[in-house]
Chains A and B, each alone.
Chain A
Amino acid sequence: MSLPAKPADPAPGIPAAPADCWNRIGTAGDGSCRELKQFNQCRYCPVYAEAGLRVLDRNLPPEYRREWTAYYAEKRDPAAAGRPAVLVFRLGPEWLALPARVFQEILEHRPVHTVPHRRNGILLGLVSVRGELLPCVAMDRLLGLPSGKPAGSPSLFFARLLVVSWENRRLVFPADEVHGLHRFRPDELVRPPATLAQSSFAFTAGVLQWQERQVGVLDPGWLFAAINRNLA
C-alpha cells in the first residue's frame, strides 16, 4: 500500500500542516519549530497526529470490503473469550504451543551474540531486546527435535524470536514460524499417550488438533524448570 502522490486536501478544521514539517523543522529535522517547546517531541504534536490520520484518507484496497464483510458477518462467540489461549509456533518439523500469557513479545530475526565457553548445551547466546540482554535458548535442542527443516519449509522470512517470561525469568527462543493465537475448548486437549518416550513429549501437557495438524501444547512449568537446569 502506498500513499497517494498528492495527499488530498486536509479536512476543514485541521490545521494546514506544512507537508512533513517534522522532517524539516521538527524532531527529525533541525528542531527549530517553536511548537517543540510545548510538545517536546513531534509525536505529541497535533499536527503530526493529523498527518497520521490522513493515512486513512485513501481509497479502499481491493478485497477490503469483502474480507471485512466476511469477518463481521460471523456471530461473536461469547464463550470463546473465556477459553484458554495458546500461541502456536513451529520448531523444525513440529508445531508446538505455549500459553499466551507466557509471551511478552515477538521479534523479527536479529543477531544472536555468542557467549565464549558456552558452546554446548542449549544456550545460543545473548539477544538485545529493548536495551536488555536476554539469553537465547535453542528450544529444539532442549526438546530433542531434529534441527533440519521440513521439506518445502519457508525461509528465514518467517523466522521469529519469541520473548517469554515465566516466574521472573525472561528469555528468548527462535521459532521457524509463528502462527498466532489459538483458543481451544478444554476437551479438545488430548493427553499424550503415556508410552511415548520421545523427549519432546516430556514437556507436553496435551495435543491439540489444529488445521489437520497435531500441536503439542507444552507445559510452561516443566519447560522452564528444564531450561533453568540447563542454563545454571
Chain B
Amino acid sequence: MLFLLFQVGPDRYALEASRVVEVVPLLQMNRIPGAPRGVAGFFQYRGQSVPAVDLCQLALQQPAPERLGTRIIVVRHPDSQGREQLLGLVAEQATRLLRKEAAELAAPAASAGISPHLGPLIQDPSGVIQWIRAEHLLSSGVRDLLFPVPAPAERGLQEPDSP
C-alpha cells in the first residue's frame, strides 16, 4: 500500500494514496462565517468550490503555518448519500510517499476506539506514523454542513429516487 505522509505539528500521519486526488499548494480560502472549528473555508479547485479542513486547527487549535511545505491534500470523501465528494485537507510537510505492505502495519492503537478515522500504526525507522482514514475524518454534522444534502424538491428534479 502506498501512503502519503504529512505532519500536524510534531505528529506524523499517513493517508492512503489511493484516496488522494492531488496535492496542491496552499491556496486562498473563502472563509465561512460561523463554521465549526477546523473548517478553513472553500477554495476554487479546477472549476468547482471545494471545502477544506485545516488539520492543524483541528488537532492543535492553531491554523497551519503559511509555509511552502504546507499543502492542501485533495481527497475523496463520501457525503451522507455515499457519493464521493472532494475535500481539501490542509496539512504540513505533505511532501513524501511511503510504501508499506498491509502485513507490516501494527494493530490499531488504543486510540482507534476513540475515533473511527484512526487506522493502524505504521512503523518506520524514525518512529510511528498514524494512519488516518480520510473517509471517516468528518463527523456527520460537519460533513452535512460541507456537503449539503440537496433539498427534496431539488433532488426530485435532478435524480428521481431509485426504487
- Report A's interface with B, CB cutoff 8 A: 11-15, 53, 55-60, 64-66, 68-69, 72-76
Contacts and interface: CB of A to CB of B under 8 A. Distances in A.
Main secondary structure of the interface of B (DSSP, over half): strand
B129 to A, nearest CB: 8
Contacts of B26: 60, 64-65, 68
B67 interface: yes
Interface residues of B, number: 23
Residue from B10, B24, B93, B127 having most chain A Cβ neighbours under 10 A: B93
Interface string B34-61: 0000000001111100000000000000
Interface in B93-110: 93, 95-96
Residue from A59, A64, A69, A75 having most chain B Cβ neighbours under 10 A: A69
Given A59-B67, A72-B27, 8 more contacts: A57-B68, A57-B69, A57-B93, A64-B26, A68-B27, A72-B46, A73-B45, A76-B47
17 contacts: A11-B7, A14-B126, A56-B95, A57-B93, A58-B67, A58-B68, A60-B26, A64-B25, A65-B26, A68-B27, A69-B28, A69-B43, A72-B25, A72-B27, A73-B46, A75-B47, A76-B46
A56 B71 CA distance: 11
When A and B form their complex, which 9 residue pairs have the shortest distance between CB atoms, in order from nearest?
A75-B47, A73-B44, A13-B126, A56-B69, A69-B28, A68-B25, A69-B27, A56-B68, A76-B46
A11 B7 CA distance: 9
Residue from B7, B66, B126 having most chain A Cβ neighbours under 10 A: B126
B12 interface: yes
Contacts of B95: 53, 56
B27 A74 contact: no
B12 to A, nearest CB: 6
B28 A56 contact: no
Contact of A60 (B44, B68, B126): B68
Contacts of B67: 56-60
